[in-house]
Amino acid sequence: MGFRILGTGSALPARSVTNDDLSEFLDTSDEWIFPRTGIRSRRICADETLDDLSVEACRLALEAAGVTPDQLDLIICSTTSGDHLIPAEACAIAERLGASCPAFDVSAACAGFVFALDVADGYFARGRAERVLVVAAEKMSRLVDWEDRATCVLFGDGAAAAVLGAGGESPLAMRLETEPSVDILHVPGIGGSSPYDRTEHPANVLAMEGRRVFKFGVNAICSSVSALCEEAGVSVEDIDHFVFHQANERILSSAVSRLGIDPARVARVLEETGNISSACIPLALDRLARSGELASGQLVVLVGFGAGLDTGACLLRWE
Ligand code: UT7
């Protein structure tokens, strides 16, 4: 038994930080950032917590789906930057929503939303759930080094959610992969204060080999799209919408030209959001759904890629 998406929702912080704003305290400029990334501004939490954004995104998704929190059988949150190390971000969301179902987090960096969909799919397949809330919530502004112009300009904060119902055609294909490599994109954990610990604790800010991630991203998109099409027995031309992780406009355009697909069918939100890690894909999906661009029966490909190096890709039927 598969699932279908019953409703989506998203929430961004109120504060928009432009490239010009960043150039007030960093040696950078819109002239450098925009042509290399496609990013003009990003939303950064000032007064909102990640719990606030997550709950707002979930409420909107539940409303769109016509589902109440007490009807949920499971809440899965994809995050690497939650408000709590313990408990899971999903538990904080459940508490604020007034839901009493099991709730836990999935950590697969920018691919996390698709990994969470696959976990949810397992619950449907085993007949363990009728309605699952999958939310991706990221406060990247707490992970980046605000003195490192090569990384902090790329990221933003936000949350987006989807309510899944049992009994649909999705996923028509699913593919999760890990090419293990920690150092390419890494945020060390907190050091703690154990009197016994003699290991080193680097600063727990995000460090990245940008060019290697760039190449990995383009390859991940292209190989995933081909593999999904093969698994589902469809051709690339049959896909109506491509929702790829929003890391860099140049990654998207390289993949578009390599795959030979119509750029108009590729969702883009990053110009005004930056890279919100795992929240990018459900945010782009929510924008498509709310703009009326998604028609019943259409095929939608999702590809998330990032730290791990993880890639999560799936082919959905919009129903
Ligand atoms: O979810 C996945 C997350 N990861 C990614 O999205 C990363 C993918 N990679 C990229 O998007 C690109 O590699 C970047 C946009 C991060 C960097 O672009 P690049 O063309 O690979 O630049 P670079 O790192 O090779 O840096 C070129 C120059 C350097 O100066 P020098 O050494 O040539 O003098 C950097 O110091 O650009 C400089 N630079 C900047 N200058 C102004 C790096 N960042 C900035 C900046 N403003 N923000």
For residue range 212-262, list pLDDT tens digits in order.
999 999 999 999 999 999 999 999 999 999 999 999 999 999 999 999 999
The pLDDT of residue 14 is above 90? yes
What confidence category does residue 277 fall into, taking pLDDT thresholds of 50, 70 and 90? Answer: very high
Average the pLDDT over 262-288 and give the result. 97
pLDDT digits (tens, 9 = 90+) for 41-66: 999 999 999 999 999 999 999 999 99
Going from N- to C-terminal start, the domains of the chain cover 3-166, 173-317
pLDDT digits (tens, 9 = 90+) for 71-119: 999 999 999 999 999 999 999 999 999 999 999 999 999 999 999 999 9
Residue 33 alpha carbon, nearest atom of ligand 1 = 48
CATH of the domain spanning 3-166, picked from 3.30.70.100, 3.40.47.10, 3.40.190.10, 2.10.109.10: 3.40.47.10
> Rounded to whole angstroms, how far apart are CA atoms 1 and 166?
7
Indicate the average pLDDT of the chain: 97
110 catalytic per annotation: yes
Residue 150 alpha carbon, nearest atom of ligand 1 = 44
Q: Tokens standing for 113?
A: 């939303």
Helix axes 210-232, 249-259, angle to 10 degrees: 40
Residues at CB less than 6 angstroms from ligand 1: 28, 32-33, 36-37, 110, 149-150, 153-154, 208, 210-211, 213-214, 247-248, 275, 306
What confidence category does residue 1 fall into, taking pLDDT thresholds of 50, 70 and 90? Answer: confident
What confidence category does residue 21 fall into, taking pLDDT thresholds of 50, 70 and 90? Answer: very high
Q: Whose Cα sits closest to atom 26 in ligand 1? A: 150
Closest CA to 208 of 199, 217, 218: 217
pTM above the 0.95 mark? yes
Query: Are the C-beta atoms of residues 96 and 24 closer than 8 Å to each other?
Result: no
| Phi, psi dihedral angles at 70 (to 5 degrees) | -70, -10
Catalytic residue (one of 19, 77, 245, 280): 245
Closest CA to 93 of 49, 128, 45, 141: 49
Domain 173-317 has CATH 3.10.20.30: no
Q: Whose Cα sits closest to atom 17 in ligand 1? A: 210
Are both 3-166 and 173-317 of the same fold?
yes
The pLDDT of residue 23 is above 90? yes
